[in-house]
Structure 1
């Protein structure tokens, strides 16, 4: 639910550019990523045929992302689900299908682990560390001191984590990403995005 809230304010801002136009332009007038967008254009045309959609009417972002969760065409084809069992996979206008589809994406592509954390707090114990810009856990908690960090108490020493540095108004804060942090990176490779999703989900949980 937090991803959909961040992506489109729960369907209020899904984009107003024809997806066919966006993908066609990027396929032929954006050499740096032309191959990627040519694949997306092909996926979009296949999608509209398979789902009986009007390719000339679907609107989305400038990059061709669509619906509540801003799925690219290949993600729509591979991960969208009919979550309310009405016989149609509709992430454009059906929030139930959209929520189920985001969950399916994270489960299948991101290997999401239910009932486990995304991040845990860390503390700096030395000079500002030089951290790797990656999303997949690569260092055990027991070895964090070599980077000048330590975790909160009672964390398994053999747990693999990825250290994260975020800038705030006081300087820097540190977190340790777990496997679900990497899972969320499959949706958007930005530590700020992932942390926004995490913090928003924590806020939503307080009302459930």
Structure 2
């Protein structure tokens, strides 16, 4: 059984996620093979780009129902976190995986805060969750995004960028990071390590 499968949807950050996990000792495969994904002990759903395109790729590869039914630890990164929600307004709208109710929207625009939100922001409001064990309040994480998830009961960490940004979410066996943990130094490495140690 493959330890960790990274779902390959053509996202640009797939290789960097793979290398970050391998540095932590994980047995990793990047794949769009439904059989390999179904048998994985844990699943990473990375993403850079548009939600609608990602969902179309997922459907074309025959992975949508498989990912919806995956019952072991799943981690969505950046766009991958947004895909956990019900819908996005991006490019006219997209229906997504629907694990968490709510609509992903374009970030509120302020003259002094450019969009995309790109760079280091501090995490705060950390909930008691195994994926956050050892991550300090105020730890920095690296963000690159133009759309933001709604703040729901699933939010387990926030960041501030003009308004509150749900930086991490959880529902059941599914977690999300709006930021890039593979680029987020010690805090990001600790989050990935914690994910790898979650019981499958």
Normalized against structure 2, the TM-score is what? 0.28
Higher relative contact order structure (alpha carbons within 8 Å, sequence separation ≥ 6): 2
**Bigger helix fraction:** 1
Structure with the higher fraction of residues in strand conformation: 2
Task: Say which one has the larger Rg.
Answer: 1
